[in-house]
Amino acid sequence: MGLLSFAKNIGKKIFGSEDEAPEKLKKHIEEDNPGISNLEVDVKDGVATIKGETDDPSALEKVILMAGNALGIEEVHADEVTAPAQTVTVEYYEVKKGDSLWKIAQNAYGDGNRHPEIFEANKEVIQNPDLIFPGQMLRIPQD
């Protein structure tokens, strides 16, 4: 997984200046670490570069979303993360105004009652399932 684009002016405020961004993003990711080791983060001109290792391809996806959903980040590069190939098909969804996890599950799966699956797939990205925001990127695992 290489690059994902994000809305730079939308997201959770994690850092104040780009100088402190690498340290603050690393701390943010490590607080709810989905399973990445030897984590390194660099930020330049709104582009976060992630380095590290994981045995779980979903951990890499979650780390990318955790960094990219931060205010001030518009791209995330993760070419230098060692991870096995993904065996589950995952789509990415950008939250729109008026969305809820139930509504997203209804559109993605045809069943809004499957919203806990989306929350579980994004629990490091979403701390509260009632507090998603427009522009936020989420993982949507496919059957």
Tens digits of residue pLDDT in 96-123: 999 999 999 999 999 999 999 999 999 9
Read off the pLDDT of residues 12-39 as tens digits, 9 standing for 90 and up: 999 999 999 999 999 999 999 999 999 9
Residue entry with tokens 């200046």: 17
Return d(Cα 135, Cα 143) in angstroms, integer.
24
* Number of residues written out for the chain: 143
Beta strands at 90-94 and 137-141: parallel, antiparallel or unpaired = antiparallel
Return d(Cα 69, Cα 12) in angstroms, integer.
7
The pTM of the full predicted model, rounded to 2 decimals, is 0.85
% of the chain with per-residue pLDDT over 90: 78
Q: Which CATH class is domain 3-82?
A: alpha beta
Region 49-63 average pLDDT:
93
- State the CATH architecture for 90-141: Roll (3.10)
Domain boundaries, the chain: 3-82, 90-141
pLDDT at 89 over 90: no
